[in-house]
Amino acid sequence: MKLTDARKRVQSLREQIEHHNDLYYRAAAPEISDREYDLLVEELEGLEADFPRLKDEASPTQRVGSDSSEGFASVDHLVPMLSISNSYSPDELKRFDESLHRALSLPDDEIIEYNVELKIDGVAVSLVYEDGELARAVTRGDGARGDDITANARTIRSIPQALARRVGGILDVRAEIYFERSDFDAINSQRERDGLPLLSNPRNAATGTLKMLDRSVVAMRPLTYFAHGIGFSNVAKLPAMHSQLMNFYHELGLRVNPHTTVVEGVGGMLSMVEQWEAKRTTLGYDTDGLVMKVNRRDWQRDLGVRSKSVRWAVAYKFSAEQAETVLEEVTWQVGRTGAITPVANMRPVHLAGTIVKRATLHNVDELERLGIRLGDHCVIEKAGEIIPKVLRVLEARRTGDEKPIEIPRLCPSCGSGLVRSDEEVALRCVNSACPEQVRERIRHYASRHAMDIDGLGEKVVDQLVDENLIRDISDLYTLTSGQLQALERFAEKSADNLIRGIDDSRSRPLARFIFGIGIRMVGESTAADLARQFGTLEKFRAATFEALIAIDGIGDNVAKSIVDFFGESANQKLLDRLVTFGVAPVEDQTAAERDAHRSEAFDGRTFVLTGELESMTRDEARREIEKRGGTVSGSVSRKTNVLVAGGNAGSKLAKAQELKVAIWDEAQLMKALKA
């Protein structure tokens, strides 16, 4: 492959992976399986290895992930909270075992002992105990930093506030928080009785619950956990074996999965795979695989870590559960960009812990590939155990009564003619006033990761559109409290609160606004890149194709989509109206302004912040360092240039001293910032 072709493919892969990261970590709504995601990452890693010039620290291959949320403080992990690489076949397990033999310089006939445990489908957290007392709970985040969810974790009754016996020092317990299926079903039953939308699945429900700001709601939901690993610890005389460490946890009153087993070599691992492929459906909670860990903890330390994952463990992912059902009807959904998507309405069937009635059919090409007809028996599975997907049609089950699926010529929402360009597979409604597009665009604009308009939920949007009070997002800023109070379920207080939320959105950061206006192919991370580059809405609106593709992370397709968006007079008029109504996104610092702030003390150097600062928060310090050309990392390594140590600095200070990293106190940092 030529460098120019590789560059285009790398950019395309990065855009796809970032899109799926957004869906998984932020929306909790993945649309592809773990295996499909891993294949994208593997292809990108291969191209970056073959073409070193295309490597980029901002590439998704260099990050663990991100589940950060607003409303929670971001804190450093004591030791990076890395992921575990996946395997999908016996051969991959064999290669894993062989790689460990080579890395440890073991003879081929020496058998490695593995601790095999169930991979719980929940939320990964760090529970830090100091002298036996729960000090904080932190989500995985990007691996280096996560959200401080201590207040919510304290409401989970099974998590001990104090260990069963006093343990001196710091013990960083790695755990998975999850819902038992019966508890999840009980929550949904109550929501159904209350007329509330049902939660999609236990994992998403656990993620959403832990990110709630109202502790009383969290306390009402029966989350629980299993402890499975260890991060930083200075506790004396910890057990030498991982299996013994789990027994030690049990003695301390921590919940440990009872199905954890120690096995010998590849044969032992494969035996456990065979057992649990069949038994996993008998459990009271969701699991999507097994985790194989080297049992000797000294070997774990010797094997070390990669940039994103540990070398001493591997996850074996179970194949997705499948079920047979019947296609009863196809409905067509209209998205905010006008794309018309076919949805399969199925005969209800139990699959992977839930009753499935609907499945995605993606687009017209997928209908043709499957050759599916109404009345067909077909096989469905949950991609990544979450999203139902039609795999294949069972043509042998046909009776002759099946009927072809009619492809719509008119939009099911507004009746306008549909178009399909040569460049894409989607049918599209090009009527920007289409009611369903209007609804979806407003929902997106008001969503938490866009303009975050509190109180503007799905049902409220439906009311406003149905009553013809809003026709596009700019109409939100013309609403009055009196208009809202005339609607069902609105009282004076709720109406005033919504108006206040709309008013507050006028000054959101530019990145949120760019994401919120719904330009095709512009997700959150791309919106942030654009905001950093242009700094103001005016400059962004004037951006040329050439200026856009010059930005790292912006490829031809994204640049064309942006130019096309601003080429539509209706979009320009919409933006003009928003500005007229006082929408003024907060300016971000431009690349030129960052150049003007660059400082020799910071430019091109990597900093790590630890401990408590008195003059500013660590987030403020991070922004000041980055403004001057520095990079802030969450962990100390040989690449670290400076450790800034505030009060009560922990293990990072010791690591920096060991690596002979330059150490600044707060006074030195402030002096350098003022220089």
Average pLDDT, the chain: 86
Taking residues 519-546, what's their average pLDDT?
88
Q: What is the pLDDT of residue 154?
A: 92
Query: Would you tell me which CATH number, out of the four given (3.40.50.920, 1.25.40.10, 3.30.70.270, 1.10.150.20), belongs to the domain 435-580?
Result: 1.10.150.20
Check: CB of residue 465 under 8 Å from CB of residue 442.
yes
d(CA 593, CA 582): 25
Note the helical H segments in 57-118: 90-103
Per-residue model confidence (pLDDT) at position 70 = 47
Looking at per-residue confidence, does 355 or 642 come out higher? Answer: 642
Q: How confident is the model at residue 653 (pLDDT cuts 50, 70, 90)?
A: confident
The more confident residue out of 304 and 387 is 304
Residue 66 pLDDT exceeds 90: no
Q: Write out the CATH class of domain 598-674.
A: alpha beta
pLDDT, mean of residues 39-57: 77
- Domain 3-62 - what CATH class? mainly alpha
| pLDDT at residue number 57 | 58
Distance (Å, rounded) from C-alpha 123 to C-alpha 518? 29
Tell me, what's the pLDDT at 126? 97
Between CA 268 and CA 266 the distance in angstroms is 5
* DSSP structure class, residue 25: I
Helix, coil or strand: residue 239: coil
Each residue's pLDDT tens digit, 235-252: 999 999 999 999 999 999
Question: In this structure, is the dihedral angle defined by the CA atoms of residues 545, 547, 549 and 551, taken in order, positive or negative?
Answer: negative
The average pLDDT across 460-481 equals: 93
pLDDT level of residue 231 (50, 70, 90 thresholds): very high
Listed in sequence order, the residues at least 6 apart from 379 whose beta carbon sits closer than 8 Å to its beta carbon are: 322, 323, 324, 390, 391, 392, 394
Q: Do domains 3-62 and 322-419 have the same CATH topology?
A: no
> How much is the average pLDDT of 323-330?
93
Q: What is the DSSP letter of 391?
A: E
Domain ranges of the chain: 3-62, 81-317, 322-419, 435-580, 598-674
Is residue 84 a contact partner of residue 310, using CB atoms and an 8 Å limit?
A: yes
- Look at 31-45, 90-104, 453-467, 505-519 and tell me which has the smallest mean pLDDT: 31-45
The pLDDT tens digits for 264-273 are 999 999 999 9
DSSP string, 593-607: HHHHH--TTTTT-EE
Which one of the listed residues 2, 119, 293, 627 is annotated catalytic?
119
Model confidence at 187: pLDDT above 70: yes
Give 392 or 614, the one with higher predicted confidence. Answer: 392
Residue range 397-436, pLDDT digits in tens: 999 999 999 999 999 999 999 988 766 677 888 887 788 9
Q: Verify whether residue 237 is a known catalytic residue.
A: no
| Pairwise CA distance, residues 174 & 500, whole Å | 41
Residue 673, Cβ density class (10 Å: 0-12 exposed, 13-18 middle, ≥19 buried): middle
Res. 639: pLDDT tops 50: yes
Q: Where residue 663 falls among pLDDT bands split at 50, 70, 90?
A: very high
- Looking at residue 272, what is its pLDDT? 96
* Range 322-419: architecture per CATH: Beta Barrel (2.40)
- Tell me the per-residue pLDDT of 141-165, one tens digit each, with 9 for 90 and over: 888 888 899 999 999 999 999 999 9
Q: What percentage of the chain reaches a pLDDT higher than 90?
A: 46
pLDDT of residue 594: 59
Select the CATH number that applies to the domain covering 81-317 from these four: 3.50.50.60, 3.30.110.30, 3.40.50.1100, 3.30.470.30. Answer: 3.30.470.30
pLDDT of amino acid 323: 86
Question: Would the pLDDT of 39 be above 90?
Answer: no
Residue 35 has pLDDT above 70, yes or no: no
